[in-house]
A and B are shown apart, each in its own frame.
Chain A
Amino acid sequence: MRRVAIVGVGISRYGYRSDSNLAELAWEAINEALNDAGAGVEDIDTYIVGNAGVWSSEPLPAVVIGEYAGLQPKNGIRVEAACATGLAATRTGYSLIASGEADVVLVVGVEKMNESTTPQVVELIGRAGNYFWEFENFGLTFPGYYAMYATAYMKRYGATEEDLCMVAVKNHHYASLNPKAHFQKRITVEECMSSRYVAWPIKLYDSSPITDGAAALILASEDVAGKFTDSPVWIKSWGYANGTSNLSRRSDFIGFESTVVASRMAYKRAGIDPDNPVKFFDVVTVHDAFTIAEIIGMGDLGLAKRGEEYKLVREEQTYIGGLIPVNVDGGLKGKGHPIGATGVGMIVDLVKQLQQRADKGRQAPISRGMALAHNVGGTGHYVFTAVLSVDKP
């Protein structure tokens, strides 16, 4: 297996992007990534498009983007794993290089969610789980699935709706320092608490928005990475796992088994102590589609003791300067959640963090040289974790 470096990153502005179509949005990120790597389209061997689609009009996004970006006749395919599409696409690109199949791979995650109306998007995401047994008769929604975890977690451990809102406050804070983020303003716990319920006990301000956006990576083999940069960030290890499609088949509702399995796989492969992973990372992303997701995700990843995750949030230990900075790009909650782009966008920001070129006010101190990305699809249906490192593995 060859080692794989990230030699260029790019990200579009996230938000309500009525000014751009799918290919234009993808190009915004691709162009920035190519510039960052000092590369041209001719350097790309093959490409992977992360796109969940359905709400947007183009059913063959990889072909449409390939033509638009001047990549044709090079081969590119779409990879889909619900909200974990971004890291799934990155893993596929990684595998092509690690296996020796390609030397330079472009990974672009893109989503145009606002081509459909909000009720239609709510319907389409609500169907993501087990359509026949859990949506057809019972009309669940994405916040609804997570709300069942929130109810069980809060009842069991005594976390409050204020605790959940504190995650939103933090992530809006960092989003306000990220010019590419969907939300550019800070919020207070009071504002969050007074927002309306979308799926009790989850409120609007606990929820990631419906976002358009794109993010891109140029991946290179260890043999050619030096052509593009002297300071690449390396993909040190991967972990992945799936959950049951039916939520009724889960044993409890206080965490995702899939995140536990995926993170332990990534830790083991990277030589990270699973009992104390916090000591290994300078900064992490935890998939915060909803505020409760960041809380249970921290426990699942072993970053906090199960049942005490919300106390770390309460003590502001997940801000920069705390025990472990979490989602300092604004997270899905503040930066936005353009499904297929989300995981790729996490990597983009973690690379910049590790290279100490994050935006002013949200650069985490880098001393250990490692970061963790955690990308969840659906409600723990897919989980991908990636360990990034400034040192060659």
Chain B
Amino acid sequence: MKTVILKLKRFLDGLFEDPLKLVDDVTDSSGLPVVPDQKTGDPIWVDVREIRMRYTIPIKGVHPYIDSLRKGRLAAAKCRSCGKIYFPPQRDCPRCRVSDMEVHYLSPEGELVTWTVINVKPLSFMHHKDYVVGIVRLRDGINVLAWIDIDDPAKLDVGMRMRLVVDKRPDENYITYWFKPA
């Protein structure tokens, strides 16, 4: 379990183990995977087939920008023809109808525009404590959405100066980016 990938798989397996064990026992003894609904008592057929989805996402068109994270930089795509900066980066400029982009390193400094604290988490983030997500307007005028590393979110305010960090996220052990107060 070097990174979040196997860690999360084990966590999710553990989460569903007990309720599925119950259904397994009922199915074995009654012959059918039918259990009473926990809220209403209505008979529920629990799917005996599980679907596991893990997407494989092509990034060839934006690989230079994603790879720049390994150099500690967050990069946007800049159209060599019209100069428009795209973040998130994209391969093609629909304005110029050309695909001639260059790496544009974003300024790591900016100001907080808005934020929230995620208290009720999605399944694949349930292994985390509450986390703060914010949108920061960088000096380049580009908005970036990311976590904000702060001990007490009550200290946050609109316009607060923020600094971008590109590094391995603790516990998850892959490179991403977050903000912390400057």
Contacts and interface: CB of A to CB of B under 8 A. Distances in A.
Partners in one complex: yes
Interface of A: 16, 18-19, 57, 119-120, 122-123, 126-127, 130, 132-135, 137-141, 143-144, 147-152, 155-156, 196-202, 246-250, 252-253
A122 B121 CA distance: 7
Closest 5 A/B residue pairs (Cβ): A139-B125, A147-B116, A123-B122, A200-B117, A152-B114
19 contacts: A119-B123, A122-B120, A123-B124, A133-B88, A138-B133, A138-B145, A139-B122, A139-B133, A144-B118, A152-B114, A152-B158, A155-B114, A155-B157, A155-B158, A156-B158, A197-B119, A247-B145, A248-B88, A252-B113
A254 to B, nearest CB: 9
B133 A140 contact: yes
Nearest to B47: A57
A148 B119 contact: no
B128 interface: yes
B75 to A, nearest CB: 13
B47 A151 contact: no
A119 B117 CA distance: 17
B98 to A, nearest CB: 21
A198 B120 contact: yes
A249 B42 contact: no
Nearest to A196: B119
Task: Tell me which of B113, B116, B128, B157 has the highest count of chain A C-beta atoms within 10 A of its own C-beta.
Answer: B116
B126 interface: yes
Contacts of A149: 114
A141 B118 contact: yes
Task: Tell me which of A139, A148, A201 has the highest count of chain B C-beta atoms within 10 A of its own C-beta.
Answer: A139
A200 B128 CA distance: 16
A141 B114 contact: no
Contacts of B153: 200
Given A18-B39, A130-B88, A198-B120, 19 more contacts: A119-B121, A119-B122, A120-B123, A122-B121, A122-B123, A138-B147, A139-B121, A139-B131, A143-B120, A148-B133, A152-B113, A152-B158, A155-B158, A198-B119, A199-B116, A199-B118, A199-B119, A199-B120, A201-B116
Nearest to B41: A18
B158 A18 contact: no
A106 B121 CA distance: 38
Task: Tell me which of B87, B113, B176 has the highest count of chain A C-beta atoms within 10 A of its own C-beta.
Answer: B113
B23 interface: no
A152 B135 CA distance: 10
B118 A140 contact: yes
A204 to B, nearest CB: 8
Contacts of A57: 47
Task: Tell me which of B118, B176, B177 has the highest count of chain A C-beta atoms within 10 A of its own C-beta.
Answer: B118
Nearest to A253: B114
A137 B88 CA distance: 13
A139 B135 CA distance: 14
A140 B153 CA distance: 17
Given A18-B44, A148-B114, A253-B113, A248 B135 contact: yes
B40 A18 contact: yes
Contacts of B40: 16, 18-19
Interface in B92-144: 113-126, 128, 131, 133-135, 143-144
Contacts of A253: 113-114, 135
Contact of B176 (A19, A130, A137, A248): A137
B1 interface: no
Given A18-B39, A246-B145, A148 B122 contact: no
Contacts of B134: 148
Contacts of B67: none
Contacts of A130: 88
Contacts of B126: 119
B88 A246 contact: yes
Task: Tell me which of B39, B47, B123, B126 has the highest count of chain A C-beta atoms within 10 A of its own C-beta.
Answer: B123
A119 B128 CA distance: 13
Contacts of A141: 118, 120-122
A148 B135 contact: yes
Nearest to B134: A148
A126 B39 contact: no
A28 B26 CA distance: 31
Given A139-B122, A248-B135, A249-B143, A18 B42 contact: yes
A253 B136 CA distance: 12
Given A132-B57, A155-B158, A246-B88, A139 B39 contact: no
Interface in B4-45: 37, 39-40, 42, 44
Contacts of B119: 196-200
Contacts of A127: 122
Contacts of B158: 152, 155-156
A134 B120 contact: no
